[in-house]
Structures are given as C-alpha cells and as structure tokens.
Amino acid sequence: MADVIVVGSGPTGMMLAGELALARVDVSIVEQRPTSELAGSRAGGIHSRTIEILDQRGIVDRFLADGRTVQAATFGTTVLDISHFPTRHPYVLALWQNRMEPILADWIEELGVPVHRGREAVGVVQGDDGVSVEFADGPPARAKYLVGADGGRSVIRKAAGIDFPGSGATRSNLIAEVEVAEEPPSGMRQDESGVHGLSRLADGRTYRVVTTEQQLGSGADPSLADLGRALTAVYGTDFGVHSPTWISRFTDATRQAADYRAGRVLLAGDAAHIHYPAGGQGIGLGIQDAVNLGWKLAQVVKGVSPESLLDTYRAERHPPTARALRYSMAQSVLQRSDPRTAALTETVDELMTMDEPRTRLAARIHGLDIAYDFGEGHPLLGRRMPDLDLDTTDGPSRVYSLLHEGRPLLLNLGEPDRIDITPCADRVRLVDARFAGTWELPVLGEVSAPSVVLVRPDGHVAWVGQGTDEGLTDALARWFGPESPTG
C-alpha cells in the first residue's frame, strides 16, 4: 500500500507529488490521459507568488528560461504594474501550460515519482486504515491517503461526497487552436456578450481562438461546427476554421468545495475550486494548494503530526481562494461592453489611479498579501517570508535557497549558537545568519526586524521572535511535532 496516491497529473498534481517526494513519502500519480502530451496550449501564465514558490524549490530558472516576464495583471482595463513591489519576481510569467507541464514532469521524474497513465478513476472506497481508488479498467489501487487533483469535474470529489456550492454558469466561451482559410483581424474585441479574438501562435499556422457564445452552451464537448457558428455570429464569417488540435468550452460558473477533506480523501486545485479564467488565477491557486498541503500530509503519513494538522489545510487555503474567486467574478463582469458595464469600468479605472486601492488589488491578484491566521503578533506572522540576502556561517545565501529541500527553517538572526532545537533537529533546519537590510512586505511596507523567524516548508512564517524565544517550543510542536518521527 502506497502512502499517497494523487489522481491527476496537471500542475497541481505534479507539484503536490513533488512536495511529498521531497519529504520522502511514497507517492504516485494516476492519470486518465494515455500520454503526457497536453492537447493545446491551455492556460497562459502564473503570478508573482507562484513564481516565488517555484523559486523556493529551486526550479524557477527552468520556467523563466522558457517564458516571458510581463506586467499583465489587470482589473477593469488597468494594468497593475508591480515592478516596484518588494519581491525578486515582480511580474507575471507568460508561459503556456503545455510548456509548464513538461518542466514539472522532469522535476518529479528526478524525484522518482511514478506516473501511471491511461487509468480512469471511477470511484473511491474508504476504510479505517486506507483508501482505494477504483478504475474503469484493471484492479484498484490502495493508499493511506488519496488526493483528487483531477479538475473541475472531479470524480474524486463526487465519489467522496463533498459538496461543491457556488454560482452556476451565466455565459460560456469556446477556446480552440485551429488553422484558418482566411486571415482574421488582429486583437481582441468586446461586445455585450463578452470577449472575442484570434491570435496567431508561434508556428505561424495555428490560431488560438477565444469567443463568447451568444447563448449559454451545453455541457457537451464542443465541435468545430459549434466554433464556426460562434465566430460567424460575431464576425460574420468563421474564417474557414479547420484542423483543430483542441476545442474546449468554459463558463463563468464559480464554485468552491465546502470541505477540502473527507476522511482520507483530500482535494486540491480545480477539484476544490472553479472559476471563470479572467485574471489567470487557476494554476497559481492549485500550486499554492499543493505546497500548503504537501508537507502537512507528509508529516501525518510519517506519524510526526496528528491528523488534525490536515484540518489547517482547508482553514488556510479556503479564505484566500474565495477572495480570488470573487476577483474573477468581478473581472468577468467588466469584460462586457454594454453601457452600464462601461460606466462601471470607467469608475473602476478611476479608482485604479489611486495608489492604495491599486496596490492592494495588485498584491491580492499576485497572492503576495496572503496572511494565514496564526493569531496576534508580528506583521510577518502567517505571511510569506521575504527572500532576503543573508550572510550565513556557510557563506552568502538567501532564504528561498534554504527552502529548496522543502524542510522547515528556523532562521536565527541574533547571537549565533544560542538556540537549541535538539528534540526536532532532524526535522527543522537551524541557520544562523545576518541580514543588514530593511524588512519590507507588499502593502504593509517596512516592518520591524525580528531576531528569529520560523518558516514553514511552504514559505509562510509560523513564529516570530523579537529579542526573546518565548513561544518557540510551542510553535515547533504545533507545526512540526513534539517528538522524532516514527516512520
């Protein structure tokens, strides 16, 4: 019996599997797709906090080498420039999903994660000591825990009986990659139904098409004829679309799982939340889910922490995701071009000329203002740790480099060799360091310098000391277990 089975080999599933493998958990992925090749380019970018997470694991350069950095986050028609934000990655990385996935696939292959393809999950059976996933063909697979990262129509979520409340669809879009017989106009256009546009891809032959349907589409897979009709309704011609590599339909339905866990079954990514893709939040939310859940699930599997640690996953990830879903709903409304929406967009754009609302919204879109509720204390508590340039006893380093192994980090910025963490030294990395600069957080600005910081594997600050170590022992026990691991 494996420790963990992840259903779904998209970015969320692979990131989670990588996190578990770093923690030396026996994890495998099962995937319905028979090959690793992803039809179509799919999603098109990731925001600053997600890029930071990839930096925390030492793989960000692989993504940066294949993508393009841009200021692309918007609200209304305003581009929210974050080039002045206190982060090493103050931008969006424009990179298609079909290029992201091979990078993640190479990473998890290096970590020894097996991916079993051509396995369609159809059901889940839970027991006291494990859970089985059943497949359309072949025998079931059994593990201590099962994570559904199998998308918005998640079979695992439905089989686990987890409710998926939210708002139903009011409009639908078709997205496709096709060839054309007639040269289409460049650029996007908006009308009362929504947004439309055709853009040439790098091969010079294929066009990426996005168009809003005049009526809400059905749940069935769309055809080339559906795409032709939708284009003709907007442009008066379908441009002779042919030879599709990918056609899909998405809607503005917005839903979030009531629970992220049912017994030994957990959800991550689109299986836990769906939304209109305005703003490009989807992949980032899934990767953030994965790094929040991965280390916690590993500690529970190993007997380091009680199962109650898994309850913090939903408690922490549900609120910021709900905010992101509200943003996507608002952005989708602003994509209409009727007179009332135009008036609203103009008002929003006026607000975006003001520093405070523009900064707050930009930090929210990029995930840089997330603050998990760990109680009262220093402004750093619960927030992402800044990637400081450090002088350590082993030479120059930076915080995110110290997180590459996915281990907790206790960063001592005071007198060296004064902190003893012997009871958990096998689980928490203690580093004595010096930092001479200012501590600055997005939105909040400069904050007082701590003397000690306890950083979780996901990069969020679990405890802060200011001239005293009071509360450190309790924080170590709360998050990383009071005793040595048993397995």
Asked whether 13 and 27 are in contact (CB, 8 A), the reply is: no
The answer to whether residue 193 scores a pLDDT higher than 90 is: no
The answer to whether residue 82 scores a pLDDT higher than 60 is: yes
Query: Which tokens go with 283?
Result: 């992949």
Q: What is the mean pLDDT of the chain?
A: 94
What is the rounded CA–CA span in Å between residue 247 and residue 286?
Answer: 23
What is the rounded CA–CA span in Å between residue 475 and residue 426?
Answer: 16
Percent with pLDDT over 90 in the chain: 85
What is the CB-side half-sphere exposure of residue 377 using CA atoms within 13 A? 21
Integer angstrom CA distances of residue 14 from 112, 287, 410: 12, 9, 27
Asked whether 39 and 295 are in contact (CB, 8 A), the reply is: no
Query: Which tokens go with 28?
Result: 């495998």
Integer-rounded Cα Rg, in Å, for the chain is 23
Environment class of 355 (CB within 10 Å of its CB; exposed 0-12, middle 13-18, buried 19+): exposed
Average pLDDT over residues 67-95: 95
Of 68-77, 258-267, 336-345, least confident by mean pLDDT is 336-345
- Intervals of CATH 3.30.70.2450 along the chain: 171-251
> Could you read off the pLDDT of 349-383 as tens digits, one per residue?
999 999 999 999 999 999 999 999 999 999 999 99
Query: Which tokens go with 79?
Result: 């581009």
The answer to whether residue 486 scores a pLDDT higher than 70 is: no
| 463 contact partners, CB below 8 Å, separation of at least 6 | 374, 381, 452, 453, 454, 471, 472, 475, 476
| 293 contact partners, CB below 8 Å, separation of at least 6 | 16, 19, 147, 266, 268, 310, 313, 317
- The phi-psi region of residue 480 (left if phi > 0; otherwise alpha if psi is between -120 and 50; otherwise beta) is alpha
Average pLDDT over residues 59-77: 95
Average pLDDT over residues 278-293: 94
The answer to whether residue 346 scores a pLDDT higher than 80 is: yes
> Could you read off the pLDDT of 209-236 as tens digits, one per residue?
999 999 999 878 899 999 999 999 999 9
What is the rounded CA–CA span in Å between residue 176 and residue 374?
Answer: 44
What is the rounded CA–CA span in Å between residue 269 and residue 371?
Answer: 19
The answer to whether residue 44 scores a pLDDT higher than 90 is: no
Query: Which tokens go with 215?
Result: 């009526």
- Intervals of CATH 3.50.50.60 along the chain: 2-166+255-366
CATH class label, 171-251: alpha beta
| 94 contact partners, CB below 8 Å, separation of at least 6 | 44, 45, 67, 68, 69, 70, 72
The answer to whether residue 418 scores a pLDDT higher than 60 is: yes
The answer to whether residue 77 scores a pLDDT higher than 90 is: no
pLDDT band with cut points at 50, 70 and 90 for residue 485: very low
> Could you read off the pLDDT of 124-161 as tens digits, one per residue?
999 999 999 999 999 999 999 999 999 999 999 999 99
The answer to whether residue 101 scores a pLDDT higher than 60 is: yes
Question: Which residue in the block uniquely carries the two structure tokens 């997205």?
Answer: 175
What is the rounded CA–CA span in Å between residue 5 and residue 98?
Answer: 23
Average pLDDT over residues 330-337: 86
Question: Which residue in the block uniquely carries the two structure tokens 């603050």?
Answer: 371
Domain 389-480, CATH among 3.40.50.2300, 3.90.550.10, 3.40.30.120, 3.30.530.50: 3.40.30.120
The answer to whether residue 114 scores a pLDDT higher than 60 is: yes
pLDDT value at residue 177: 95
Strand 265-267 relative to strand 141-148: parallel, antiparallel, unpaired?
Answer: parallel
- Intervals of CATH 3.40.30.120 along the chain: 389-480
pLDDT value at residue 483: 54
pLDDT value at residue 423: 83
57: amino acid identity, one letter: R
Q: What CATH fold (topology level) applies to the domain 2-166+255-366? A: FAD/NAD(P)-binding domain (3.50.50)
What is the rounded CA–CA span in Å between residue 320 and residue 4?
Answer: 26
pLDDT value at residue 191: 87
> Could you read off the pLDDT of 378-414 as tens digits, one per residue?
999 999 999 999 999 899 999 999 999 999 999 999 9
